[in-house]
Structure 1
Amino acid sequence: MIFSAKTCVGRVRSNNEDAFYVPPKNGNYPELFMVADGMGGHRGGEVASQMAVKEVSDYINARFSKDFNEDLIKAMINDSIMEANRKILMAAMDHEEWAGMGTTLTMVLFLGKKIFIGHVGDSRAYMIRNNTITQLTRDHSLVWQLMEEGRLTLDETRTHPMKNIITRALGTDRVLEPDFLEYDLEKNDIIVLCSDGLTNMLEDDEIKNIVCGQELETAAEMLIHAANLHGGIDNITVELIRAD
């Protein structure tokens, strides 16, 4: 497994409310990757995103087995997100300055020739295969919902004044419904995880062209740089993982 992960505060924000997780190099850890984009309160977004990736990774690392079937993996991913959601809610109740904090979370677990995705919010997972980029997750956002209802076009969602309103997040409700997705994997597929600080600045094909033209480490740096050149109005986080 070859991967690279980068994050940047961008050109406008004063602090970075994104967080990410990649498996530690030392030790027999699951091939788990995550991006979270926090929001709300004094440092609340930063706290929420960091809590999300820590709680989910701790939960899965402690329970994962390569012998798990699809149902057990789905249950484990769902339970890990629910536990993180519960702890973020509790932290917000215990600290007034964090009231209203929440975070997106998009995670990918690699197992054999499959990937398993848990997803809440509008961070995204893409797959690049044979020079084609495909968005694997659907945004939990108001404009995405309007697009699915036929009331907006995809182009209109990019510039809509309410495009930053998300409809699901960890830490905002006790009841949460994460998306669970499963995809087959082929050799040299590249999975892209990113916060909306990247996708609000770059078109999908721009992301694909950068990733396909460079080694992953260089491509991740170039994606951050390109998003900043386009304005860098939000924190930017990207993870690139090549299946081997």
Structure 2
Amino acid sequence: MGNTNQDTKMFGLFKNNSSTKVFSISHIGDRKENQDSLIHLKSGLSECYLVADGMGGHSGGKLASTKFCTAMSQLFPLYINNIDNIDNIDNNNSQDINNLIDDARLQMCQQVKAENPDLSPHTTAVLVIYDKEYAHIAHAGDSRAYLFQNQALTWQSKDHSIAQLMVDQGDMEETEIPQDQSQNILYRSIECEKKHLINISRFKIGSGDKIILCTDGFWCFVKQQELLDLAQSSKPKKTLKQLTQKAYRRAKGDADNITALLIQFPTT
């Protein structure tokens, strides 16, 4: 419990010409290193927001999340330039985004293996590609996306975990996931050994909508009402820091890395 403010990174307000605003934070928790990574990118009329959580159960977790984000930052502009109408991408025709993610995965693997061939890098990933009208949300693992529209939580991603499968089968309540031992047993991630088809969800973005992207170190210890409070907050940077501190305290000395990113879409 001896972490200081030096272990917390509050990222400054990211604001572009469209008035989309982004607030983000990353805290080391009680771990020896922070294996979480995050980026926000802009290319033409499109933007990409990404949170990744290197999986500590495998070797090379920190490298995995870092290299995946680096690869995405390099490849995203190239893919956007090759897509004439990204707003035509829907849940049944999302090959372009899947290709982008898979190419970033392959580049991650090449770079990590070049540094240490014995590593087995795995990372979760949750990302948003926004084109000024639609948000395309993709994820692998248990890093989550929450969509808020009309002052309410209208959608959240489903974890690729054994605990989530138990919920889907009716063997457990969703509220029990954070405390269940199978919460961090994942059957899908960004990894070198296997390519996973990534599910893409597509939403039309309205005035004042918000999206929260976060790792399990955040959502496991933050209540749903507190997420709504963050989405509605008039001081999101302050609220985000307060919730991160709450998540850290609630972990009672065993806090994972804690990372969250709030996207505020333009109000018209």
- Mapped to 1, the partners of 2:51 and 2:157 lie a distance apart of 13
The answer to whether 1:17 aligns with 2:35 is yes
Matched-pair contact (CA < 8 Å) for 1:133–1:205: no
**Of 142, 151, 162, the match for 2:171:** 151
Aligned to 2:261: 239
Whether contact under 8 Å (1:42, 1:97) holds in the other structure is no
Change (3 A) 1:235 1:156: same
Preserved CA contact (<8 Å) 1:37 1:195: yes
Looking at structure 2, the residues matched to 213 and 161 of structure 1 have their Cα atoms a distance apart, in angstroms, of 33
Alignment-mate amino acid for residue 62 of structure 1: L
- 1:14 Cα offset (Å): 1.2
Match in the other structure for 1:225:
245
Query: CA, structure 1 residues 192+91, in 2 after alignment: closer, same or farther (shift >3 Å)?
Result: same
Alignment deviations for residues 113-172 of structure 1 (CA, whole Å, 9 cap, x no partner)? 210112111101111223322443111111101211222221332211121111101115
Are 1:48 and 2:64 counterparts?
yes
Which secondary structure state, in structure 2, belongs to the residue aligned with residue 138 of structure 1? coil
Which moved further from structure 2: 41-50 or 133-142? 41-50
- Distance in structure 2 (CA, Å) of the matches to 1:182 and 1:156: 28
How far residue 213 of structure 1 moved from its aligned partner, in angstroms, is: 2.7
What is the rounded CA distance, in whole Å, between the counterparts of 1:211 and 1:223 in structure 2? 12
Question: Which has the larger displacement, 170-179 or 92-101?
Answer: 92-101
Paired-residue identity, %: 24
* TM superposition outliers: structure 1 runs of 4+ over 4 Å: 91-98
SS in 2 for 1:22: strand
Q: Is the 1:124–1:135 contact (alpha carbons within 8 Å) kept by the matching residues of 2?
A: no
Counterparts in 2 of 1:66-81, with a 5 A limit? 67-69=84-86, 70-71=88-89, 74-81=94-101
1:44/1:98 contact within 8 Å kept: no
Matched, 1:191 2:204: no
Letter matched to residue 181 of structure 1? S
- TM-score, normalised to structure 1, is 0.88
The offset of 1:2, in angstroms, is 1.1
Separation in 1 of the partners of 2:47 and 2:134?
A: 11
Q: Note if contact 1:170-1:176 (Cα within 8 Å) is conserved in structure 2.
A: yes
Q: Secondary structure at the match of 2:139?
A: strand
State the Cα distance separating 1:29 from its structure 2 match.
6.8
Aligned length: 241
What residue ranges of structure 1 are gaps of 5+ in the alignment?
none
Return 5+ residue gaps in structure 2 as ranges: 1-19
Q: What's the RMSD between the two structures over aligned residues?
A: 2.4
Q: For residue 31 of structure 1, what is the aligned residue in structure 2?
A: 47
Shift of 1:62: 1.8
Structure 1 position 206, deviation (Å): 1.6
Amino acid at match of 1:2: K
User: What displacement does 1:95 show?
Assistant: 4.9
Which one scores higher on RCO, CA 8 angstroms, separation ≥ 6? Answer: 1
Preserved contact between residue 127 and residue 139 of structure 2 (Cα < 8 Å): yes
The CA deviation string for residues 53-87 of structure 1, in whole angstroms up to 9 with x for no partner, is 12123212122147324249833311111112223
What is the CA–CA distance in structure 1 between the aligned matches of 2:154 and 2:247, rounded to whole Å? 19
